[in-house]
Chains A and B, each alone.
Chain A
Amino acid sequence: MRFVDEYRDPAAARRAVEEIGIVSGGEHRKFMEVCGGHTHTIYKHGIENVLPENVELVHGPGCPVCVIPMGRVDDAINLAEQPGVIFTSFGDMMRVPGSTSNLLEAKARGADVRMVYSPLDALRIAQANPDRQVVFFAIGFETTAPSTAITLLKAKEAGVTNFSVFCNHVTIVPPIKAILESPDLRLDGFIGPGHVSTVIGNRPYRFLPAQYGKPLVTAGFEPLDILQAILMLVRQLRDGRCEVENQYTRAVRDEGNVRALQILGQVFELRPHFEWRGLGFISHSGLKLSEAFADWDAELRFQVPGVRVADPKACQCGEVLKGVIKPWECKVFGTACTPETPIGTCMVSSEGACAAYYNYGRFTREAAASARIPVRSA
C-alpha cells in the first residue's frame, strides 16, 4: 500500500485499513463525509484508493463556499457596486461565479472590494472609514458564524453604525436531513464534521440514529482520523449498534462550545428557508440577524435584487453536493470547468469536491489504477 506509507503513522493506518476490511466483511457500505475539509484530506491522501473496495465514500455538502447559490453572489456584487460601499469578503468567495461576473471582476470594474481574514477586520475598516458604508459578506457553517456574531456584538457595543453584515450563514443539520430525504441516495452512515462540531457538539446529530437509523462518527482531519472514523462506523454496523460517536475527542466535546452557542442564539435567528446551491430551498437552514441586530443587517439597510438564479444547466454541482455523482462524472469537469475558470462552486473552493479531485484525486486514482496497488487488504 504505497499511499499508506505516506501517512504520518503508516503502521496504524495499515492496521485501520485491515480492520475495516475484516469488520465490514465484504458488505457494501456507503458513507458520506459531510465536511469539505474531510473531502480535501480524502482526495489529497488517496484514502479512497486504500479502502477496501466494498467501502465507498460520498462527498457531502459541507463546503460553505460551494453551497452559496448564484443569486446570493449577484446580490453581493450588487452591494459591492453601490455608491460609497466598501465590500469585505473572505478570499474564498472572490472567484465564485455569479450569473454574469464575480467579486474579483467587480473589483476590477472599480468596486471597492477588500479581502479580509476575519470579520473583525471588516469592523476595523468601518471604524477607520466612518464616511463609508462597510458591508461584510458572511458565509460559513457554525464554525464561522460565532465569529460574525461576536463582531456584531462588538459593532453594537462600540456604536459602529456604518457597518453591516450580508448574512449567508448556514447550519449543518438541515442539509443532512435533506440528503437523507432524497430518494436517489442510500447511505449507511456519516463521518461528522470536525470543526463545526467543536461549536455545536455531538448532541445535534442524535436525530440521525433516532429518526433515520444512521450512525455518525465525528472525525478529525488527518487521514488516520478518517480511517478510524470509518472503522468505528463499520464496527457499529457489524455490532448492530447505531449511535453518535466521537473520534475527534482531541477538540470536540459532546456539549460543544457553550459560549459560542449562546452568542449564536443572541445574534441570529433561523430563516424560514434558505436556498442551497444544487440542493434547492431547505427549511430552517440559514441564519439571519435577529431583531436586536436588525440595524446591522445589510439586507435591510440596502436594496438588494434578491433574484433567484437557476444554476447553469451544464453544471452538476447539485448532484456532486448530494453525492449522487462523483466529480469526474460531471459533463464539464476538467474541460469547461477548472479551478482557473470554474463554472460551479465545487470547483472554486479548495474544499469543494471537484477542486480537490482536480488537484489531487485524479492523480492518485490514476496512479492507483496503473500501479495496481493492492487496494484491498485482509
Chain B
Amino acid sequence: MCLGIPGKVVEIVDVNQHRAIADVDGVRREINVGLVLGDAGGLEVGEWVLIHVGFAMSKIDEEEAERTLSFIKELGSVYDDEIDEFRQETPL
C-alpha cells in the first residue's frame, strides 16, 4: 500500500477544495491535490503526480511517471491491486 502510483492530472475540479481528476493508466478518479498545490508553479492540468490513497503526494516529471508505472506493472499483482483499488467506487 505504500507504493505511490503515478497519475496525470486531467482536470482541476475545484482548486479551493483541492479536488482534481487524475488518470492512472486509463482509469480516472478524483484525487486530493492539497499537498502539492504549494509546490513551485502550483499544479496544472497535464502534470504528473505520485498518488497514494487518493492523495497526490509529490509532483514528478513525465519520464519518472512512465518509469514508475512500468516498474509497478512488472510487480504484477501489486499493480492489479493498486489499479483495482483506484477504480473502486466508494462503498456508500
Contacts and interface: CB of A to CB of B under 8 A. Distances in A.
Contacts of A251: 50, 58, 60, 64
Interface residues of B, number: 36
B2 A195 contact: yes
B24 to A, nearest CB: 12
Interface string A133-152: 00000001101101100100
A100 to B, nearest CB: 25
Given A251-B50, A351-B1, A118 B55 contact: yes
A334 to B, nearest CB: 18
Interface string A1-36: 000000010000000000000000000000000011
Nearest to B92: A128
Contact of A199 (B32, B57, B78): B57
Nearest to A62: B2
B26 interface: no
B1 A257 contact: no
A125 B3 contact: no
A221 B68 contact: yes
B60 A115 contact: no
A351 B86 CA distance: 18
B47 to A, nearest CB: 14
A65 B1 contact: yes
Contacts of B35: 146, 150, 257, 259-260, 263
Nearest to A262: B38
A259 B81 CA distance: 29
A155 to B, nearest CB: 13
A117 B60 contact: no
Interface string B49-92: 01011110110110010011011001101100100011010111
Contacts of B74: 44
A202 interface: no
B53 A257 contact: no
A140 B1 contact: yes
A250 B92 contact: no
Interface string B24-36: 0000000010111
A121 B54 contact: yes
Q: Give the residue among B37, B38, B52, B91 with the most A Cβ atoms within 10 A.
A: B91
A124 B92 contact: yes
Contact of B57 (A114, A121, A124, A195): A195
B2 A64 contact: yes
B92 A257 contact: no
Given A117-B86, A125-B91, A349 B54 contact: no
Contact of B52 (A44, A116, A195, A258): A195
B48 to A, nearest CB: 11
B7 interface: no
A150 B34 contact: yes
Contact of A8 (B2, B50, B64, B71): B71
Contacts of A40: 75, 78
10 contacts: A35-B2, A37-B3, A44-B74, A92-B1, A115-B88, A118-B55, A144-B52, A146-B55, A146-B57, A198-B50
Interface of B: 1-4, 18, 32, 34-38, 50, 52-55, 57-58, 60-61, 64, 67-68, 70-71, 74-75, 77-78, 81, 85-86, 88, 90-92
Interface of A: 8, 35-37, 40-41, 44, 62-65, 90-92, 114-121, 124-125, 128-129, 140-141, 143-144, 146-147, 150, 195-196, 198-199, 221-222, 250-251, 257-260, 263, 349-351
Given A119-B53, A263-B35, 14 more contacts: A40-B78, A140-B2, A140-B53, A147-B32, A150-B55, A195-B2, A198-B57, A221-B71, A257-B35, A258-B38, A259-B34, A259-B37, A259-B38, A349-B1
